[in-house]
């Protein structure tokens, strides 16, 4: 787990990460039932896994433990861009299970992610945070007005961009919590 969420994650960080993911799954399942979405069992499982990963991933990538791990010496633009690129798998899941045949959706969403990520890491550090926020706002607008929504997954692209462009890419001076009192 240390290589995934960062070595030295506190119990509170892990609880927050797991809680966010599980809450997202519960909300998704409640919405699916209330909206009577015509998802198959497989679609429901895929959507739940995406919700778990997106919500848990936002919290994880914003945590001090993850910041220390993913921004340690030797982790540069190349490693961050590879991490971002690997998340194209999630877009392929959306394509395969919710938008079959709509490769344009994935091409636009993924292309936007990669262009923004490359632009952010190429900037001086003091400009990366405002650029990431601008990229996230653009991604929000793209998901609301540029790409047809996926019923039940309208939240996916905004959270996807938040997780990767804002929470993961931005280097911060990570805070190390004080040792727990016995």
What are the tokens at 158? 């905004």
pLDDT tens digit string along 98-110?
A: 999 999 999 999 9
Per domain, the residue ranges of the chain are 2-168
- Which residues have CB under 8 Å from 100's CB, separation 6+? none
Please give the Cα distance from 57 to 43 (Å, whole number): 20
The pLDDT score that the predictor gives to residue 6 is 84
pLDDT digits (tens, 9 = 90+) for 17-55: 999 999 999 999 999 999 999 999 999 999 999 999 999
Within the chain, which residues score under 50 in pLDDT?
none
Long-range contacts of 105-111 (CB under 8 A, 24+ apart): 105/147, 105/148, 108/142, 108/146, 108/147, 109/142, 109/143, 109/147, 109/157, 109/160
Q: Determine the Cα–Cα distance for residues 152 and 98; give it in Å rounded to an integer.
A: 10
8 A C-beta contact, residue 79 and residue 42: no
Using CA atoms, how far residue 104 sits from 89, 144, 147, in Å, is: 15, 16, 9
- pTM of the full predicted structure? 0.92
């Amino acid at each position: 787990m240390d290589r995934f969420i960062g070595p030295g994650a506190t119990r509170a960080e892990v609880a927050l990460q797991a809680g966010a993911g599980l809450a997202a799954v519960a909300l998704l399942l409640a919405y699916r039932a209330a909206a009577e979405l015509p998802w198959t069992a497989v679609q429901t499982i895929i959507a739940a896994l995406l919700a778990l990963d997106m919500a848990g991933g936002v919290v994880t990538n914003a945590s001090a433990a993850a910041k220390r791990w993913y921004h340690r010496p030797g982790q540069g633009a190349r490693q961050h861009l590879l991490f971002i690129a690997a998340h194209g798998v999630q877009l392929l899941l959306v394509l395969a299970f919710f938008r079959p045949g709509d490769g344009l959706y994935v091409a636009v969403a993924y292309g936007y992610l990669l262009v923004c990520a490359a632009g952010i890491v190429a900037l001086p550090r003091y400009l990366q945070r405002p650029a990431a926020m601008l990229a996230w706002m653009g991604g929000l607008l793209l998901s609301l007005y540029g790409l047809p929504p996926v019923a039940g997954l309208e939240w996916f692209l905004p959270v996807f961009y938040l997780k990767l462009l804002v929470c993961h890419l931005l280097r911060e001076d990570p805070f190390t919590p004080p040792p727990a009192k016995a």
